[in-house]
Structure 1
Amino acid sequence: MTGIPNSLSGHSVNLMARAGNTCDTKICKTAATSILHDLDVNIDPCSDFYQYTSVGTFTDLRNNNLDSLRDIIELTYDELLTGAKEKSDEEFINPSQSDRDRSNFNKIKSYYETCMDEATIDSLGPTPLFPDIKSLLDKLNFPVGLDSRFTTDHVRQLTDALIYLGNEGVDNLFSFDVGIDDKNPEEYVININQPDLGLPSREYYDQADVIAIYRNGLISILSSILGNPKDSSPLEELRRTKLAENNLSILSNIEIENMVDRYIEFESHLAKITLANDQFQNPIDLYNPMTIAELHQKYPVVDWIKLIRRFIPEDASLPSNVIVIAPKYMQDLTDWLVNSANRDDGVTTENLREFFIIKTILANIGYIDKPNRDLYRNMIGKISSGATETPPRSRICIGQTSNTFGQLLGRYFVMKKFGGESERKQAAKFLDNITSSWKSRLQDVSWLDSETRSRALEKVSKLKHKEAYSLANPDDRSPESLAQYYNGIEVTPKEYYKTQQSAFQWSLKKEWKDIGQKVNKDIWYMDPHEVNAYYTPTFNEIVIPAGILQSPFYDSDLPRYLNYGGIGVVIGHEITHAFDNSGRLYDGDGRLNSWWTNATATAFEQKSQCFIDQYGKFTIDGPNNSKYNVNGKMTLGENLADNGGINAAFMSMRKSLSEDPENNLALPGLESLSPEQLFFINFGRVWCSNMRPEMAVQRVLNDVHSPAKARVNAAVQNNPEFAKAFKCGAPGSREMNPVDKCSICKLENELPP
């Protein structure tokens, strides 16, 4: 591709194309080359904008960041510091804390190297799992046998098992964690919810071919871990010895097959009583406070006082309320267990024992030997990811290092790749610009009544943002702050499994110590190097990490119209979440509160239905020529955010063109493209992605985000400015310019193209 057809030039006069108005810097030349490479000029953008721009910037940048993190962690500290001095500032490089910084760096380097030591990990086989299975069985001193039905006489043993599993991070009969109280966002609260399943969602349990793969995979895993030794090799002899030391029986082939069949039957019943993903969209429906006495009355299968007391700090009082997010699931689970003696599908104590054993194995299989990891990966690959090759161990280990030491690893990413306070403050100004545009747009929305508009403007005025990296709890600029934050994680070289257990215990303790404390709003829920962003309704805050503040999303030296089409749309997307179908139910102080008038709420619901219907018509291709429709209800919040984000960013871009022309010069070789066109092109490049059919199905069933093609094409279909920029003709004449456009924030003065 050597150029852009003249037919794609903007309908408006392109002032940037005048002599001397082209950016000739290295970064502009690189951006122009990248855009030319990414566009398929044989595709009409008005017919299929996704195909015209299909690249996948998110995936590419995430992989690049992982590679950068790997390169950083494989340096020595002195090599890191030498490179960081070229990019970072004095806020990050403080000679008085260099010893602490070196110690921190060496700690995560040791963690990474322990993960990379596959020879040691493989030499142990699955044996690190055995003490955990033994400890579980010691708690589960149920009567043994398939004829022993569960009754309320077994509540003590079940409670002890749930405490143990919760302390080990093993999914079980329900989830149980700490969150922010939606109606009192200054306080932490305990949430009780339905569990994660072994398969990606409840729909998979109705597919016979999937269950067959699941069954065969589990049989292979259990045979490798608990089955008869295959030979007399040293590793198999070690496995036999360690099983005996932990009083674990070697299982025959038929015992394993029967155990797996019972496990799948049990889990399939759990899947049947779970709620579908699209039933978790309304936070008011999910907010069900109950006293501990009510828990005992409604769900008498657990000793709730004992369970809660074992997790909260010793000096904390029992909470007055907990939040039950899925009461229907909890009631159905209780009825199933309590009435097991009188049901054909009743639960036996052996069902529970086997279910918890397999869950323990699956929860920890990523930390044992490669042969067992591969068995699990192959099974899941066939079912839901389509992956056929194992990623490089370095990518797996840098991902684990990030999961464990995210803020600390992020510090070194910022030092090496981002810069420091001057870059962060520039990004903060950019966020302010988008917020200002969103606020201006609210003032002109025709269907908002004065009362709701006033409260909406107040909410935007109270909207906070954080950018690049954490400044407190921990302060990523301070080695001392980071050392204190991660104190408690013990890295034991040559013992990866033990190290992972230490990391989990640290994380669990950090989570539960919040009970009884005021909410810490300095906290970040992402790491600095993540290519992502988020909005927190209880904080009324958006967060944009340094990882996404990179080209092509953002660079302070790029023309502003590209930045607005990249990170500007992302920022606008997150701001829009404050007013989507879920976020709009929280006020400016982060409190779950129905502050909309009835008339305005009704108008919002009517306008939202257009998006539900529009996105529900998009499909993805699954395996074996199958097709799945997008769930317009489940994805509504993200779809609204996509559309609101592109509108807010475009409005800011237009303002920038008139107020800041020197930072909106044309790109070399792309002078025929208007800034409006390049805005949309950068947007398309950001969101496009490709994935295997199995993964596409998993996403469409579970992900609240629409598939990439729907995200790109639906957003431009709804945007009149896109049709103007690309001369898409009269409404209805081209696929990307339909007559009926969905809009929540249609303005009084908004005219058709």
Structure 2
Amino acid sequence: MKHLSAPNRAGAAALLLALAGCATTQPAATTTTSTPAPAVASSTGGRSINPQDVDRSVSPCEDFFRFSGGNWLKNNPIPAYASSWAPRNELNDRTQATLRRILEDAAADRAAAPGSNRQKVGDYYAAGMDSVGLEKAGLTYLKPELARIAAVKDRPGLLSEIARQQTLGTGAFFRAGVAPDRKNSSVYAVNMSQGGLGMPDRDYYLKDDARSKTVRTAYITYLTNTFKLLGDAEATAAAKAATVVRVETRLARASKDRVSLRDPYASYNKMTVAEADKQFPNLQPSALLKRNGLGAAQEVIVGQPEFFREVSAVLKEEPLQDLKTYLSWQLVSSVPAALPQAFSDEAFRFAQVQSGAKQQPTRWKRMLAATDGTLGEAFGQLYVDQAFSPAAKQKALDMLANIRESMAEHIQTNTWMSAATKQEALKKLSALRVKIGYPDKWKDYSALNISRESYLKNVLAARQWGYQQNMKKFGGPIDRTEWSMTPPTINAYYSPPMNEIVFPAGYLQPPFFDPEADDAVNYGAIGGVMGHEMTHGFDDSGRQYDSEGNLRDWWTPADAAEFTKRAAVVGTQYSAFSPLDSVYVNGKLTMGENLADFAGLTIVYAALQKQLDKQYGKGNRPLIDGFTPEQRFFLSWAQLRRQNIRPEALRQQILTDPHSPGQYRTIGPLMNMPEFYQAFGCTPGQKMVRPDAERAVIW
């Protein structure tokens, strides 16, 4: 739900659930199965499984994470610029090499037609790469925005500036935007949700454990040094830093934690704009919406009313100058890469405390990511032409159709779900939309002006353009052609209001997807992702949306209670996982992703069996590098989730990420699957085998 892979600080709250992926390897002489081994042996397949990565000193039935990729973990230390290293990073390096060629070619083309996508892509990337120009410009292009904030003389002027900062994507105070109404997904609604924090989680402001104190201290240093770069003396900069932390701490206290935010009903509070004005009088939502082109809106969905009541109080109670200091910080801290290098260095030093990375990624990598995030569909077509063939797209569609069929069969044969709930579930599955590779309708950038004059001007112009594009949706039909990820993105998502799963071309590459690999490998790799995203529609949050994408309870009370009971078993299992001393996985925060892993893997395994039956019949399935197809399926799943991660980044992940660490995404589902036990000959008492009474079974 990733997640979108990198959410904009000020973007509207997007209801997306994203996933990460997995990769392995030599004849499995030490593994056994409880069924006769196939007679056919081969070493010609296995393009995504590397037998040399398997650590045969570890039993697959004791620790499959280490068995499947222990040698890879030993031989792939984390690069200095990274906080973790996994097969996704290796694919990202290859993808970046392709994209860099495309971008540098566009940047070198000074004859590109003015206003064309090629001109915009080339100029955006070139301006970002012009480090000499950035140093020479200094704060020249930032000063007009800082001056606007400094010129605010009263509370009405402050509200005008807050409205402007929404269009600039700075993230000040809250997030607002247009998205499908979650209880009536056929229309767009205005949504407002909590935000405004400079640190990645509310707990860093509120807790006094050593980790929180360390991050908080680093944040204060980041604030102080940045204000000094803006021209303030040491004492003034320190005072401003304290002001920002005080204001943000008030917002943090009023913010819901990440577990609470997973409840879609609790975050759906529709009210008239007039009522919002009454509840949040010092924010004046009606005036804010009017300033930003949404004056026609009669209603607004407020994610966290108690948070906005606190925002209203902050706007009344805090000194005007302090609120201006906060706005200045939100602006500057949202654009460090578009300022002189010293600003990026300060931002990186703060990020280092959270991630443990030793050095900043090179500028071309950062500018490549920025260009993709801003103009990704403008050059995504060129990437698709080079990296994703029509044949690959068709194979992916065929796999998805087989997995959907398997999911339908699991629903139909479910033993604890009533006929009425099954009918609704099948209806939702049938209505599921699938998007593969790239959009059918490419984004139109004609209204966005990009030049080589200033990278900061380009960044702010792109944000304002993106905000206006979002505002234009209001009152119009739902755009079901839109993508929330660019074609080169190495990720995937499920959208509950759209009831759709989306797989960009960037993810459909080896080792995640290889049209030349055998089915067992592809089903264990990208198939696991497909099953994961598909079953997000039926996890603890996604199941609360119906076939049309509306937030509606379609479960019988008995079925809902049984689902909750079974899901709680998963939560208990993951909350017991501890990757570091005194650090435990949050089974409630990671519930949706864990359930999608559980259900997705079960469904995809069954889909693979059907595929193998078609290809080989019930027997005589080939060994490849000494592994049966079933073993290769589980190896493929595990190897794409192997990961080396720095302790700082691991602590950060457990606090903020709805995905469990890679090692537990690997073993968590398998410990509950008899199919895994059978594939590797595991027996009761071994660590990878949960007793029947403790096993989690959803579908």
Say yes or no: TM over 0.5: yes
State how far apart, in whole Å, the 2-side matches of 1:493 and 1:515 are.
33
State how far apart, in whole Å, the 1-side matches of 2:264 and 2:119 are.
43
Q: In structure 1, what is the equivalent of residue 308 of structure 2?
A: 330
Q: In structure 2, what is the equivalent of residue 63 of structure 1?
A: 93
Contact 1:262-1:351 at 8 Å conserved across structures: yes
Q: Per-residue CA shift, 1:153-206, capped at 9, x if unaligned?
A: x3x233212112112211222221111100111111111111141111011123
Say which of 657, 663, 674 aligns to 1:703. 657
* Residue 429 (str. 1) matches residue 398 (str. 2): yes
Q: In structure 2, what is the equivalent of residue 40 of structure 1?
A: 55
Say which of 611, 620, 626 aligns to 2:570. 611
Code of the residue aligned with 1:134 in structure 2: it is: A
Against the structure 1 CA distance between its residues 422 and 5, is the aligned structure 2 distance closer, same or farther, given a 3 Å change threshold? Answer: closer
Against the structure 1 CA distance between its residues 741 and 429, is the aligned structure 2 distance closer, same or farther, given a 3 Å change threshold? Answer: farther
Q: In structure 2, what is the equivalent of residue 403 of structure 1?
A: 373
Q: Per-residue CA shift, 1:500-549, capped at 9, x if unaligned?
A: 12211211111111111111111111111111111111121111111111
* Residue 349 (str. 1) matches residue 327 (str. 2): no
State how far apart, in whole Å, the 1-side matches of 2:417 and 2:113 are.
55
State how far apart, in whole Å, the 2-side matches of 1:400 and 1:715 are.
36
Q: Structure 1: any 5+ residue segments left out of the alignment?
A: 80-98, 143-153, 228-251, 341-346, 475-481, 747-753
Q: In structure 2, what is the equivalent of residue 723 of structure 1?
A: 677
Contact 2:115-2:449 at 8 Å conserved across structures: no
Code of the residue aligned with 1:333 in structure 2: it is: V
State how far apart, in whole Å, the 2-side matches of 1:76 and 1:409 are.
9
* Residue 301 (str. 1) matches residue 282 (str. 2): yes
SS where residue 547 of structure 1 aligns?
Answer: coil
Contact 2:448-2:461 at 8 Å conserved across structures: yes
State how far apart, in whole Å, the 2-side matches of 1:433 and 1:101 are.
46
Higher-Rg member (1/2): 1
Q: In structure 2, what is the equivalent of residue 653 of structure 1?
A: 608
Q: In structure 2, what is the equivalent of residue 682 of structure 1?
A: 636
SS where residue 503 of structure 2 aligns?
Answer: strand
4+ residue segments displaced more than 6 Å: 76-79, 99-102, 662-665
Contact 2:488-2:507 at 8 Å conserved across structures: yes
SS where residue 266 of structure 2 aligns?
Answer: helix
Say which of 130, 138, 150 aligns to 1:117. 130
SS where residue 259 of structure 2 aligns?
Answer: helix
State how far apart, in whole Å, the 2-side matches of 1:535 and 1:292 are.
30
* Residue 541 (str. 1) matches residue 500 (str. 2): yes
Say which of 469, 480, 483 aligns to 1:524. 483
State how far apart, in whole Å, the 2-side matches of 1:682 and 1:507 are.
39
Code of the residue aligned with 1:319 in structure 2: it is: A
Alpha-carbon distance, 1:689 to partner = 1.7
SS where residue 8 of structure 1 aligns?
Answer: coil
Contact 2:435-2:503 at 8 Å conserved across structures: yes
State how far apart, in whole Å, the 2-side matches of 1:555 and 1:404 are.
29
Q: In structure 2, what is the equivalent of residue 449 of structure 1?
A: 418
Against the structure 1 CA distance between its residues 738 and 65, is the aligned structure 2 distance closer, same or farther, given a 3 Å change threshold? Answer: farther
* Residue 512 (str. 1) matches residue 471 (str. 2): yes
Q: In structure 2, what is the equivalent of residue 72 of structure 1?
A: 102
TM-score, normalised to structure 1's length?
A: 0.83
Contact 2:192-2:301 at 8 Å conserved across structures: yes
Alpha-carbon distance, 1:742 to partner = 4.0
Q: In structure 1, what is the equivalent of residue 66 of structure 2?
A: 51
Alpha-carbon distance, 1:287 to partner = 1.0
- Whichever structure has more helix as a proportion of its residues is 1
Code of the residue aligned with 2:328 in structure 1: it is: I
Say which of 516, 526, 544 aligns to 1:567. 526
Q: In structure 1, what is the equivalent of residue 339 of structure 2?
A: 368
Code of the residue aligned with 2:557 in structure 1: it is: N
Once the two structures are superposed, the pairs formed by residues 96-175 of structure 1 within 5 Å of their partners are: 103-138=116-151, 140-142=152-154, 154=155, 156-175=156-175
Contact 1:559-1:665 at 8 Å conserved across structures: no
Against the structure 1 CA distance between its residues 209 and 534, is the aligned structure 2 distance closer, same or farther, given a 3 Å change threshold? Answer: closer
Code of the residue aligned with 2:346 in structure 1: it is: L
Contact 2:563-2:698 at 8 Å conserved across structures: no
* Residue 634 (str. 1) matches residue 589 (str. 2): yes
Contact 2:192-2:302 at 8 Å conserved across structures: yes
Against the structure 1 CA distance between its residues 679 and 5, is the aligned structure 2 distance closer, same or farther, given a 3 Å change threshold? Answer: closer
SS where residue 665 of structure 2 aligns?
Answer: helix
Q: In structure 2, what is the equivalent of residue 497 of structure 1?
A: 456
Contact 1:136-1:165 at 8 Å conserved across structures: no
- Count of aligned pairs: 653
SS where residue 190 of structure 1 aligns?
Answer: strand
Contact 2:507-2:513 at 8 Å conserved across structures: yes
Q: In structure 2, what is the equivalent of residue 464 of structure 1?
A: 433
* Residue 553 (str. 1) matches residue 525 (str. 2): no
Code of the residue aligned with 1:65 in structure 2: it is: T
Q: Per-residue CA shift, 1:644-664, capped at 9, x if unaligned?
A: 111111001111111023999
Alpha-carbon distance, 1:7 to partner = 2.8
Alpha-carbon distance, 1:380 to partner = 2.2
State how far apart, in whole Å, the 2-side matches of 1:57 and 1:664 are.
32
Code of the residue aligned with 1:373 in structure 2: it is: S
Alpha-carbon distance, 1:367 to partner = 0.8
Q: CA RMSD in A?
A: 2.4
Against the structure 1 CA distance between its residues 418 and 289, is the aligned structure 2 distance closer, same or farther, given a 3 Å change threshold? Answer: same
State how far apart, in whole Å, the 2-side matches of 1:540 and 1:552 are.
27
Alpha-carbon distance, 1:12 to partner = 2.4
Q: Per-residue CA shift, 1:451-507, capped at 9, x if unaligned?
A: 1111111111111211111112x2xxxxxxx5xx01122221141111112211211
State how far apart, in whole Å, the 2-side matches of 1:271 and 1:661 are.
58
Against the structure 1 CA distance between its residues 117 and 337, is the aligned structure 2 distance closer, same or farther, given a 3 Å change threshold? Answer: closer
Alpha-carbon distance, 1:665 to partner = 7.1
Code of the residue aligned with 1:470 in structure 2: it is: P
Q: Per-residue CA shift, 1:127-158, capped at 9, x if unaligned?
A: 322111001222x213xxxxxxxxxxx3x233
Q: In structure 1, what is the equivalent of residue 34 of structure 2?
A: 11
State how far apart, in whole Å, the 2-side matches of 1:508 and 1:70 are.
27
Alpha-carbon distance, 1:362 to partner = 0.6
Contact 2:227-2:237 at 8 Å conserved across structures: yes
Alpha-carbon distance, 1:2 to partner = 9.6
Alpha-carbon distance, 1:667 to partner = 6.5
Contact 1:178-1:512 at 8 Å conserved across structures: yes
Q: In structure 2, what is the equivalent of residue 280 of structure 1?
A: 261
Q: Per-residue CA shift, 1:653-708, capped at 9, x if unaligned?
A: 1111110239997475x1x2111110000000112222222221221111111111
SS where residue 583 of structure 2 aligns?
Answer: strand
Q: In structure 1, what is the equivalent of residue 359 of structure 2?
A: 389
Say which of 564, 589, 594 aligns to 2:553. 594
Contact 2:282-2:313 at 8 Å conserved across structures: no
State how far apart, in whole Å, the 2-side matches of 1:544 and 1:742 are.
31
State how far apart, in whole Å, the 1-side matches of 2:620 and 2:184 are.
45
Against the structure 1 CA distance between its residues 78 and 426, is the aligned structure 2 distance closer, same or farther, given a 3 Å change threshold? Answer: farther
Q: Per-residue CA shift, 1:413-468, capped at 9, x if unaligned?
A: 1111112x333222211111110000011111110011111111111111121111
Code of the residue aligned with 2:182 in structure 1: it is: D
Q: Per-residue CA shift, 1:557-600, capped at 9, x if unaligned?
A: 21111110011110000111111111111111111110101110
Q: Per-residue CA shift, 1:381-417, capped at 9, x if unaligned?
A: 12x1112201111111111110111112221111111
Code of the residue aligned with 2:272 in structure 1: it is: T
State how far apart, in whole Å, the 2-side matches of 1:107 and 1:305 are.
35
Q: Structure 2: any 5+ residue segments left out of the alignment?
A: 1-23, 73-85
Contact 1:218-1:260 at 8 Å conserved across structures: yes
SS where residue 191 of structure 2 aligns?
Answer: strand
SS where residue 187 of structure 1 aligns?
Answer: strand
SS where residue 141 of structure 1 aligns?
Answer: coil
Contact 2:40-2:621 at 8 Å conserved across structures: no
State how far apart, in whole Å, the 1-side matches of 2:159 and 2:552 are.
35
Alpha-carbon distance, 1:643 to partner = 0.5
Code of the residue aligned with 2:438 in structure 1: it is: Y
Question: Kindly, what percent of the aligned residue pairs are identical?
Answer: 29
Contact 1:312-1:515 at 8 Å conserved across structures: no
